[in-house]
Structure 1
């Protein structure tokens, strides 16, 4: 159990590192784009695979998010990661950031996607 908790804590720290790296000017645009997607997906309350589906529901948290983190970390310069690790340590001591604008944008994006799918499904079945 301790091993799982340690893994989850490390995963959370890496997400915060990516959060700060996204804001850093030294990170290439393509890495920022990918990193923003990984961080947004991780913080989003809506999952690709809903959690209520047995076993598969937690597949994204156990497999997709760590793979996304791994790829994002490889795209970011090591100096940026080192700087962001310090910031992430400070953040975990002081509490996580609250960015209501980003949260609203994520929910709006998911809502627009849902509406688009609903319209396409309606058109298909008519």
Structure 2
């Protein structure tokens, strides 16, 4: 669980550091590709499968963003991690609730499409 939190922390740190002038082009490109994958209809696990269709977005996108965060200059990464640590502790629950609602709508749409 600690590793999962570290991946999400670094993914958020990268997103928060994209506007920093010291952030390199490679990190920005990888972030853009990860976000493009997240909104793309092409997935490893099709989104039409209830609940499971969203899991690849929940695992792959943060992992790629965390990898890109490793390419940030150390001062930028530390500053962004500080910003993430100052975020309210409620954000994982809000994110989970939003993703749960999205998964519920996917499942409902799948059930309705089959009838």
Larger Rg: 1
> What residue is the counterpart of 2:85 in the other structure?
89
CA RMSD between the two structures: 3.5
**As a proportion of its length, which structure holds more helix?**
1
Q: Deviations over 1:79-100 (max 9, x none)?
A: 110000011112244748xxxx
**TM-score calculated relative to the size of structure 2:** 0.54
| C-alpha spacing 1:23/1:92, structure 2 compared with 1 (3 Å) | farther
The DSSP-based 3-state class of the residue aligned with 1:75 is coil
Report the number of matched residues.
Answer: 90
> Equivalences for 1:43-82 in 2 at 5 Å?
44=39, 48=43, 49-51=45-47, 52=49, 58-59=55-56, 61-62=58-59, 64-65=60-61, 67-82=63-78
Structure 2 stretches lacking a partner, 5+ long: 93-115
Structure 1 stretches lacking a partner, 5+ long: 97-126
> What residue is the counterpart of 1:31 in the other structure?
27
